[in-house]
Amino acid sequence: MSDTKYADVTALFPAKRKRRYKEVELPVAGDIVRIHSLTAREVAKFQSATINAKTRRMIQSKLEDSLARLVVLHVVDSEGNVILSQSHVEKLAEWDNADLAYLADACQKHSGMDPDELEGLVKNSGAVPFDGDQPEKS
- Name the more confident of 116 and 3: 3
pLDDT at 126 over 60: no
**Read out DSSP for 57-69?**
-B-HHHHHTHHHH
Q: CB of 24 within 8 A of CB of 33?
A: yes
What share of the chain in percent tops pLDDT 70?
75
3-class DSSP assignment, residue 80: coil
3-class DSSP assignment, residue 82: strand
- pLDDT number for residue 135: 47
Domains delineated in the chain: 19-123 (3.30.2220)
Confidence of residue 49 (pLDDT cuts 50, 70, 90): confident
Span 100-114, average pLDDT: 94
CA pair distance 138, 124, nearest whole angstrom? 24
Q: What is the pTM of this model?
A: 0.76
81-98 pLDDT, tens digit each: 999 999 999 999 999 999
* Burial per residue of 63-89, b for 16 or more beta-carbon CB atoms within 10 angstroms, e otherwise: bebbbbbbbbbbbbeeeeeeebeeeeb
Look at 30-44, 48-62, 66-80, 120-134 and tell me which has the smallest mean pLDDT: 120-134
pLDDT at 57 over 70: no
Sign of CA dihedral 114, 13, 34, 62: positive
pLDDT at 133 over 80: no
pLDDT at 116 over 90: no
pLDDT at 28 over 90: yes
pLDDT at 134 over 60: no
What separation in angstroms does the CA of 128 have from each of 57, 121, 124? 8, 9, 7
